[in-house]
Amino acid sequence: MLQCSNEREIADFLRDVGTLSELYTWSERLTVAARLSEGESYREASIVTGASTTTVTRVASFLYDGEGGYQRILGAQHHHAASPMRGEDGVVRRAR
């Protein structure tokens, strides 16, 4: 993917390596991560996205305690905008 020079090339690559079902699942998980990072509850994220509560919990686990992949992608999408769950440094914090 590092060899891709634009969004179109990334999209083409992803279509080649993933089935439509996998692409849908990746999209759903990214949408769940975005909603959780904006402070939405697990239940609400599940209802709005249609993702199972198991999927929402799994995404939350990686969002808060993973390697930072979701945070990097979401940070690039939001240009590190501050939110109730995101500090000025762009890092997502677990709700207390």
- Tell me what the pLDDT averaged over the chain comes to: 84
> Would residue 47 count as lying in a domain?
yes
pLDDT band at residue 85, thresholds of 50, 70 and 90? low
pLDDT score at 9: 93
pTM over 0.75: no
> Would residue 85 count as lying in a domain?
no
Alpha helices in 18-52 (DSSP H): 20-37, 42-49
Q: Which CATH number do you get for residue 26?
A: 1.10.1270.10
Angle at 39 between CA 27 and CA 59, to 5 degrees: 40
> Would residue 1 count as lying in a domain?
no
77 or 9: which carries more pLDDT confidence?
9
